[in-house]
Amino acid sequence: MSELSVNHLLGIKYLKEQDIQLIFETADHFKEVINRSIKKVPSLRDITIANVFFENSTRTKLSFELAEKRLSADVINFSAGQSSVKKGETLVDTVNNILSMKVDMVVMRHPNPGAGIFLSKHVKAAIVNAGDGAHEHPTQALLDSYSIREKLGDVAGKNVVIVGDILHSRVALSNIFALKLQGANVKVCGPKTLIPKYIESLGVEVETDLRKALNWCDVANMLRIQNERLDISYFPTTREYTQQFGVNKKLLESLDKEIVIMHPGPINRGVEITSDVADSKQSIILNQVENGVAIRMAVIYLLASKIK
Ligand code: CP
């Protein structure tokens, strides 16, 4: 397979396993490029990309911008907070105005699930979903799987537990799709109130005992408690959540084996993981961030090659 089966990256749900392998092989090449002394290639000299962010971001926004610049694309950035969205302009009007400045690709983060899918039907540009509400965060899942592949050699056959707020997490859903597509075994672990009822229909097992989940897994992906999406109380107190579902050094050291710790960021230190776990040699959190640039270069490069 030499090109993606899709013209947009809207979610992992729309990808085939071969798409993921193509993205990883392309990312391998770009990872080598960004570790050279000259980190830039001229691949996308004629492409203009708009990063359109309606929600806060540190890692995703900077990582996309760096990926685009490393590929020599022209880049414009848009943050809703400082824009005419505040004056009532619609999403489609906003993006069509950006596109009339001859933009080829839009990378968008939006609080509404499906915002990227909606946009792809109404504007003429390649759309990359950089996170849409509690729906999907495809490039996060790709960089997560890529980091597992880098650390453990393969994703197929590995046991991965995703811990925390599964209900509100786009990272969880995209990771489940990506891991299952590659043949990993997946469990979710968290308070029952934060595990959606449909989750087992995705081929995922539920484990509410964190110690059992950790003793089973090769990799634990620790999710952030998303206070901004918790409209009601899903657990009694943050302290109780941490006691039941937080990972600390003592717990890690009491396990039967050494496991890999991941976190998409931003971390609530002392809530889902303690600092001594986040900063330990078992943690690959900063490798995930590094790999994010290579993965996003690969996604942008492959989608740009499909623009007619
Ligand atoms: N992982 C992630 O999406 O982080 P940001 O919200 O900082 O982009």
Give per-residue pLDDT as tens, 100-148.
889 999 999 999 999 999 999 998 899 999 999 999 999 999 999 999 9
**Average pLDDT of the segment spanning 214-219:** 98
Residue 191, CB half-sphere, CA atoms under 13 Å: how many?
19
Nearest protein Cα to ligand 1, atom 6: 57
Residue of 51, 53, 59, 108 best suited for mutating to test ligand 1, as the one with most atoms within 8 Å of CB: 59
Task: Please check the confidence at residue 232 and state whether its pLDDT lies above 70.
Answer: no
Q: Which atom of ligand 1 is the closest one to the Cα of 55? A: 6
pLDDT of residue 29: 97
The answer to whether residue 233 scores a pLDDT higher than 80 is: no
Nearest to 83 by CA among 95, 74, 73, 75: 95
Neighbour tally for 51: CB within 10 Å: 23
Residue 52's pLDDT band (boundaries 50, 70, 90)? Answer: very high
For the CA of 131, the closest atom of ligand 1 is 3
Q: Ligand 1 atom 4: the closest Cα is on which residue?
A: 59
What pLDDT score was predicted for residue 259?
98
* Residue at 51: amino acid letter: N
Tell me what the mean pLDDT of segment 195-217 comes to.
Answer: 97
Return the pLDDT at 116. Answer: 96
Range 138-284: architecture per CATH: 3-Layer(aba) Sandwich (3.40)
Strands 126-132 and 185-189: unpaired
Mean pLDDT, residues 49-55: 95
> Alpha helix (H) ranges present in the chain?
17-34, 59-70, 91-99, 115-122, 138-152, 170-181, 210-216, 238-245, 249-253, 275-278, 285-304
Closest-lying ligand 1 atom to the alpha carbon of residue 109: 8
**So what's the pLDDT on residue 119?**
92
Residues 291 and 263 sit within 8 Å (Cβ to Cβ): no
| Share of residues in the chain with pLDDT > 70 (%) | 98
The preferred substitution site among 57, 77, 139, 272 for testing ligand 1, maximizing ligand atoms within 8 Å of CB, is 57
Per-residue pLDDT for 258 more than 90?
A: yes
Distance from the alpha carbon of residue 107 to the mean position of ligand 1, in angstroms: 14
pLDDT, tens digit, for every residue of 61-72? 999 999 999 999
- Ligand 1: distance of its center to the CA of 57 in Å? 5
pLDDT higher than threshold 70 for residue 254: yes
Domains 12-137+289-304 and 138-284 share a fold: yes
Residue 231: which pLDDT band, with cuts at 50, 70 and 90? low
CA of 155 to the centre of ligand 1 (A): 23
Q: Average pLDDT, stretch 169-189?
A: 98
Residues 280-302: what's their mean pLDDT?
Answer: 97
List the chain domain ranges.
Answer: 12-137+289-304, 138-284
Architecture of the CATH domain 12-137+289-304: 3-Layer(aba) Sandwich (3.40)
Q: What is the pLDDT of residue 228?
A: 65
CA of 256 to the centre of ligand 1 (A): 32
Global pTM value: 0.95
